[in-house]
Amino acid sequence: MAPPMTCTSVRTLTTFFTLLTTAINRQSPADLQSPTTLQDGSQYDFIIVGAGAAGCILANRLTERRDWSVLLIEAGGEEPTEADVPAYIPYTWNTRMDWGYRTQPQSTACGGGPCNWTRGKVLGGSTVLHALIYNRGNRLDYDEWEKIGNIGWGYKHVLPYFKKSENNMDREFAENKKYHSTGGYQSIGRFPYKDANVDALLQGFNEIGYRNVDINADKMTGVMLMQTVHRNGERQSSNKAFLEPIRANRPNLKVVTNVRVTKILIDPQTKKTFGVEYASEFQRNYRGKAFARKEVIVSGGTINSPQLLMLSGIGPQEILRPLGIPVIQNLKVGSNLQDHVSTTTLRYILDYRTSTEVTDQEMIRNLELYNQTRRSGPLTATGPSQVTAFTNSRYGNRHIDYPDIQYLFRSANSPTCSTNVLKPVCYYSSFAPTPVVARPKSRGYITINTTDPFSPPLIYANYFSDRRDMDVLVDSLNEITKLANTNCFKNLGIRLDTTPVPGCERFRFATDEYWQCAVTRDTATYFHYAGTCKMGPLQDRDAVVDTQLKVRGINGLRVIDASVMPTVVTGTILAPVMMIAEKGADLIKNDWK
């Protein structure tokens, strides 16, 4: 008889969850203010709007010029130490660090309701909330950018900028000097801890025909124990990597938190950008202006950047004029929205041999192990999320290394250990393979219906508006069920959960009709939003910025973040955004020699 599975008690998890989220949210509005204040009418050479992955890098690189003054404005607050723990990912969502966006409902996704779109509202942006994955994308992504007219953005041009940020701590990879480097600000490496299921996933993919690869080097199709943005068992956000080392010793950098930029100031006659208007997040009647002698750089991300441009008179005239916003530049701001759509509909259940559920006492010991040592134990990792695999669906081109599916994994509960209370991702009794449509065909858009800068924009994800995305996702679900028949999974008692998704019982499990039904109910995202301020050549009428990342027709204004991607890359987008910021900083330096 098998020993019973151990489950963490609901009472302990509830207490832990309450204490942790209280700690993350505990700071009062007064405590959240930066040590510095923003004086109305102050002047800087550059103003950067948004301190996410791109904004933190830009602030670092531009202040390398000691004769340049830089203002970095962030709507969120300081990064809490609780976010450092890799396994605490779920606890950062729906807190004061999350914009908490919701898409407009659509009948073909998320069960017919809104989809949750988590976005970081904190120093470091979404790098404080995400799963720490470092994945550069495929070389053909960037060659395609260049092929459509974005000269200078081919893979050979962008690879040096990936390497510029990198401090690779894995000797196995760091020795490959062609693709990796050391000495950059961003530490990258594999987690110091992995459980038996991580090895099982790697071996399972090997059994069904995929070899181990370095997805950030010369081969992407295959499986990998991922590299992540951590250092010594702690999350290293862009704030920790790029801002903390310089913030106290560069007097030419000013960082202001809990201040929202409400408008970009542009002379309508000359179309010259000269500053921003801002308001306090806590005292919205407190407003002011800051002036830029050289440029304003918008790095608010795929959702916030187009919203700010439209509020400032840059966007589709058919949207702006009915709202009474004077049109300074008629551009397709907000269109071309892309996201890596996924699903959590499939699940593998573990038995007592590989379940990582623990007793209350073990949970406390693991916390002590993390706090009292040099960061060791289960909390230093993210369970099955450490593994990724890139494969081709039957719709992909198997003759080239350009996979159209990425498999990621989320820890979950089984009915034996069911609880609605969030837990650290290292404790789980089942896991969900979440296939990602790596290069989606569907396009959504972001728009506004008010001039209130504190009102969220309207997000139309339009998942599966192109049927090909559903076809790829269904085929990927058929592929991932093959793991159930591997010797590795069978020997460890890892079995496929064939319980039908509620509402899809009329279809036979694992048929295409069943998957289509299940996907529309259990739609998921990994928050890889891109494309709403598209980069393109002069002849591209849909482009918002040029290859220098300058907003078309506007002087002194650039957008540098994921929104400039013409097409979302194959894989997660943190590393590509870092690359865009590194390259963007050099473009600015070259313009202002």
Q: Which residues are catalytically annotated?
A: 528
565 secondary structure, DSSP code: -
Distance CA 531, CA 338 (A): 6
Give, to the nearest 10 degrees, the angle between helix 139-147 and helix 155-165.
130
Distance CA 336, CA 564 (A): 10
Q: Count Cβ atoms within 10 A of the Cβ of residue 460 and give its class: 0-12 exposed, 13-18 middle, 19 or more buried.
A: middle
Amino acid at 243: L
First to last CA, the chain: 75
Report the relative pairing of strands 405-412 and 387-391 from DSSP bridges. Answer: antiparallel
8 Å CB contact between 441 and 468: yes
8 Å CB contact between 61 and 186: no
Distance CA 401, CA 511 (A): 28
Three-state DSSP at 407 gives strand
Distance CA 389, CA 211 (A): 10
Q: How are the residues of the chain apportioned to helix, strand and coil, as percentages rounded to the nearest 5?
A: 30, 20, 45
524 secondary structure, DSSP code: E
H or E segment and range at residue 45? strand 42-49
Measure the CA dihedral 382/383/388/389, to 10°.
-170
With tokens 């400039």, the residue in question is: 564
